[in-house]
Structure 1
């Protein structure tokens, strides 16, 4: 079978498509024939080894052998199940999270997979994983858990105002749609090229950052979701309501201390403020993934696809993601 590996840290030129032995599922594991995957910032961090703290986990001075195969999102068909698997069956269509997902076949723990709703293409399902989970959990961390309810004779409550910075990327396109599903008034920040795209996703207001500086406006937001890493946190704090929340999901600044100093600064500031400031890393959660898959199946949520690359062109797919100008998801087809 084909598998994408990188023997050392670096750019897309380090990637190789090699022949590998198909894995066998152990207890509690499922063997999936992968149909589609995607490229996430998580994958590019693991490839480049930056921020450098990544290398402490993946191996020094080069990735450990077990960490050389890359890819995190996957969607495909169950080919075999190991002992103790009770929820999934051979032939089930599944999206999920796995290691070495840029491979024709991967083994995944059963709890890392959910069922694909009928009618949802596996290609679309391969673009959900990390990006959609990050958007959903980031909004929840900011206090957005669902539409408000009110009874007969009660006044409809005001919708929380949410600002999404970096609204046209993989996480951002999901965040705009999910914030609307969860009952927010959404203001999206993006470039001129992506204004129409973000508006079609449901944003109530769209700010073109090439002509307007959002932090200098008079609008105030209950939640600011910062996905681009392009704004100073102190500037974004100015446009929060007195009890608002800033959630930073973007790549940390700096290759050495940024991943430590940034979250520490946000936590420290929160201790002395009525506002909440937090850095955020998503967790792989099966219930959240199933909820997202259901929304996709219902048509309430969609995957915005920038481009689809065959596995043989994985280096081009990663280079595209590294430009930071992808509109939605960069997908990888293994069919």
Structure 2
């Protein structure tokens, strides 16, 4: 049995990147035992992207015990590291999920459980219009191109955006909409051991999977960073020791 900590490089948190090493000292409060049967590469995707997705989905009131009624939600950038987890978790929470991605990943995102997938390269996809013509109760934004001005018309009368990308424009909008009916709130992931354990149990039970874009040996880590920062990886970019 091993342990895993957040060392997967493909979530562009800022212009400053992290580091990779064969060994690292870390608090026990930030580690979870890796159960037998879960590949190390699959587990490596969970801490950063998985927790970000889980906290975003939970922030809209999602319940995973079967008691939730679900809502009409939109997830942008659904084929990326965070997005692939978010779609799966939202469906486990009984939401009706519309998701956006590029043309080549439409079938992948459908296979993760999305009820409807929009190609953002088309006029309809760019306008965030679903086939039912319904407004969204919640939008989980993971793309840096997603702005409050484009999300507001797509929201229901008391709809809310959870902004994971946290661009400057959306941060300002989060302050301006604090007391409005339609709101946007930025979110920053925090490391929580109990939530990481929850994700591991879902993966162990076959309810959650990691979509892996590519694998790179440690001596090719620069290639992994380049792939990740290009913004078009499908799922997780993994560095293997």
Take 1:33 and 1:177, find their aligned partners in 2: how far apart are those partners? 24
Q: What is the TM-score when the length of structure 2 is the normalising length?
A: 0.90
Counterpart in the other structure of 1:320 = 227
- Report SS of the residue matched to 1:41: coil
User: Residue 267 of structure 1 is aligned with which of 153, 175, 184?
Assistant: 175
User: Residue 302 of structure 1 is aligned with which of 186, 195, 209?
Assistant: 209
User: Residue 103 of structure 2 is aligned with which of 166, 177, 192?
Assistant: 192
Counterpart in the other structure of 1:215 = 127
Deviation of residue 105 (structure 1)?
0.7
Asked if 1:103 corresponds to 2:21, the answer is yes
- Report SS of the residue matched to 2:138: strand
Asked if 1:174 corresponds to 2:85, the answer is yes
Take 2:72 and 2:15, find their aligned partners in 1: how far apart are those partners? 32
Asked if 1:40 corresponds to 2:24, the answer is no
User: Residue 292 of structure 1 is aligned with which of 192, 199, 216?
Assistant: 199
Post-superposition Cα deviations, 1:286-323, rounded to whole Å, max 9, x if no partner, equal: 11100001101111000000000000001000000011
Deviation of residue 35 (structure 1)?
10
Counterpart in the other structure of 1:238 = 153
8 Å contact 1:36–1:333 — kept in the other structure?
no
Max Rg structure: 1
- Structure 2: where are the runs of 5+ without partners? none
Take 1:270 and 1:146, find their aligned partners in 2: how far apart are those partners? 28
- Report SS of the residue matched to 2:209: coil
The structure whose RCO (Cα within 8 Å, separation 6+) is larger is 2
Take 1:232 and 1:160, find their aligned partners in 2: how far apart are those partners? 22
Deviation of residue 34 (structure 1)?
7.3
Task: Indicate how the Cα distance of structure 1 residues 313 and 35 shifts in structure 2: closer, same or farther if over 3 A, else same.
Answer: farther
Counterpart in the other structure of 1:276 = 183
Counterpart in the other structure of 1:206 = 117
Give the root-mean-square deviation of aligned CA atoms.
Answer: 2.2
- Report SS of the residue matched to 2:239: strand
8 Å contact 2:9–2:225 — kept in the other structure?
yes
- Report SS of the residue matched to 1:225: strand
Take 1:175 and 1:37, find their aligned partners in 2: how far apart are those partners? 19
Q: What is the TM-score when the length of structure 1 is the normalising length?
A: 0.66
8 Å contact 1:139–1:145 — kept in the other structure?
no
Number of residue pairs aligned between Structure 1 and Structure 2: 236
Take 2:3 and 2:99, find their aligned partners in 1: how far apart are those partners? 37
User: Residue 224 of structure 1 is aligned with which of 125, 139, 153?
Assistant: 139
Take 2:224 and 2:98, find their aligned partners in 1: how far apart are those partners? 29
Asked if 1:330 corresponds to 2:241, the answer is no
Deviation of residue 243 (structure 1)?
1.5
Post-superposition Cα deviations, 1:30-85, rounded to whole Å, max 9, x if no partner, equal: xx8879942133566323xxxxxxxxxxxxxxxxxxxxxx33xxxxxxxxxxxxxx
User: Residue 64 of structure 2 is aligned with which of 139, 142, 146?
Assistant: 146
Post-superposition Cα deviations, 1:101-133, rounded to whole Å, max 9, x if no partner, equal: x11111110100111222111121111111010
8 Å contact 1:139–1:179 — kept in the other structure?
yes
Asked if 1:133 corresponds to 2:45, the answer is no
Task: Indicate how the Cα distance of structure 1 residues 35 and 234 shifts in structure 2: closer, same or farther if over 3 A, else same.
Answer: closer
Take 2:10 and 2:189, find their aligned partners in 1: how far apart are those partners? 13
Task: Indicate how the Cα distance of structure 1 residues 321 and 276 shifts in structure 2: closer, same or farther if over 3 A, else same.
Answer: same
